[in-house]
Amino acid sequence: MENDNIAVGLDIGTTKIVAMIGRKNDYGKMEILGIGKAKSLGVHRGVVNNITQTIQSIQQAVQDAETSSGMKIKEVVVGIAGQHIRSLQHSDYITRPNGEDVIKEEDIDRLCNQVHKLVMLPGEEILHVLPQDFKVDGQAEIKEPIGMYGARLEANFHVVVGQVSSIRNVGRCIKSAGLELSAITLEPLASAKAVLSQEEKEAGVALIDIGGGTTDLAIFKDGIIRHTAVIPFGGNVITEDIKEGCSIIEKQAELLKIKFGSAWPGENKDNEIVSIPGLRGREPKEISLKNLSKIIHARVIEIIEQAYMEIKNYGHEDPKKKLIAGIVLTGGGAQLQHIKQLVEYITGMDTRIGYPNEHLAGDSDSETTSPMYATAVGLVLNSLESKEKSSLMKRFPHPETEQVIEGESDSTETETETETGKKERKIKEKDTKTSKRFFDKWAEKFKEFLDNAE
């Protein structure tokens, strides 16, 4: 599966693991070639807590995707979430040796790399460094400094930080499942890619992705990501509460929630009752739908209030930072009945349910355009984009880098073909190609880091 226009996204969630294979069609839209889904057993609140079970679930999802597409999967892009993710704002600057030269991509890379060297708390690692806006020689609010003259380049960054051990465990699972890790993306960023339109990102929008174990939040304004957060509970706590409140088993609680659950208790009449078969010879249980939606209502309010607090922390009340496009709900939890109305009621912001059909080809299966696949679709889209960029760079390399590559290959040929030799050669060749974006660089560093950890 070496094809440049095919990519595989792997969404390792708390309730399910999804493997999705996609490619760009002639109209620039994404076609889903295959999808595989497995129950996720070794993940709790977005963090791997049982390696063996997670490996089995990944293998099953990948196998399903391979069967449905007739392709062999070698490398995947993975989404990362979990309660260990936090974000911070940081500003940094570089002084350029020659202010007479225009600012190039390399200068921005240098600045981003400098931020990557920030000292974090023990056991934490920087995942993403996302520039917000730039200053050139004190001139503020510059969105794109490339091509400008200036000696001092300054920028505000949104830095996303995660726990090294959690990230390594994910990498370990993927390796042990016989796959290669091509990149890691923060899940709220992937979901945003799949369900938000450019207009919404410009106007200001908060994406709330209600998953099984976590609720992810991403806030955009002026087309730039401004804030990310992971709230450590999601749809699972609702199921847990139904299980406790109605004294039934988890499987029944989940089915009740999906089939009859509503986030708005006023919708159900007092006499609406569902009968649930009892366990092995016991009497069936009768559950009032009004009570069911009261339980759901209480939990959903808690999730939404946490997310709304994050929106306030970002500064939504400041007229300059106002989110005009309101809130977009996605993830499996967004399928709850009347959740849109409840969110509008709590926050007073316009709300819509986000379906990942913004970039999908028109003939996509209705199942794959469900909000629960938003992250997987976004991961594939991100991967396809970065592949397009790198293939463009290969097609139109800088003249000087071409010579370097030729020189490199002569010197590296003599190396003994050990595993490390191969690795070094790959990395050297990669490094000499035109400057990459920092995402790719980070993925490369991370791969090296995983190899060393073995």
CATH code where residue 233 lies: 3.30.420.40
**What pLDDT score does 447 carry?**
65
Cα-based torsion angle of the residue sequence 315, 316, 319, 321 in order, rounded to the nearest 10 degrees = 70
Q: What is the mean pLDDT of residues 133-145?
A: 90
Domain that holds residue 298: 197-357
Q: Note the pLDDT tens digit of each residue in 104-114.
A: 999 999 999 99
For residue 279, is it within any domain?
yes
The DSSP output letter for 396 is S
Burial status of residue 282 (CB atoms within 10 A of its CB: 0-12, 13-18, 19 or more): exposed
Average pLDDT, the chain: 84
Contact yes or no for 332/211 (Cβ under 8 A): yes
First to last CA, the chain: 25
For residue 201, is it within any domain?
yes
Whether the per-residue pLDDT at 153 is higher than 90: the answer is yes
Q: How confident is the model at residue 413 (pLDDT cuts 50, 70, 90)?
A: very low
Helix (H) or strand (E) holding 79: strand 75-80
Lowest mean pLDDT among 146-150, 426-430, 435-439: 426-430
Interacting residues of 337 by C-beta distance below 8 A, sequence separation 6+: 261, 262, 263, 264, 267
For residue 48, is it within any domain?
no
Q: How confident is the model at residue 51 (pLDDT cuts 50, 70, 90)?
A: very high
Contact yes or no for 288/260 (Cβ under 8 A): no
Whether the per-residue pLDDT at 405 is higher than 90: the answer is no
Shortest CA distance to 144 belongs to which of 248, 230, 223? 223
Tokens of 352: 């819509």
For residue 248, is it within any domain?
yes
Radius of gyration for the chain, computed over Cα atoms and rounded to the nearest angstrom? 24
Angstrom distance (rounded) from CA 191 to CA 209: 7
Tell me the residue type at 435.
S
Q: Which residue has the tokens 């200001």?
A: 204
**What pLDDT score does 112 carry?**
93
Going from the C-alpha of 313 to that of each of 16, 96, 310, 325, the distances in angstroms are 31, 35, 5, 18
Number of domains in the chain: 1
Tokens of 381: 């889209």
For residue 297, is it within any domain?
yes
For residue 371, is it within any domain?
no
User: What pTM did the predictor assign?
Assistant: 0.82
Shortest CA distance to 358 belongs to which of 200, 130, 188, 183? 200
For residue 341, is it within any domain?
yes
For residue 342, is it within any domain?
yes
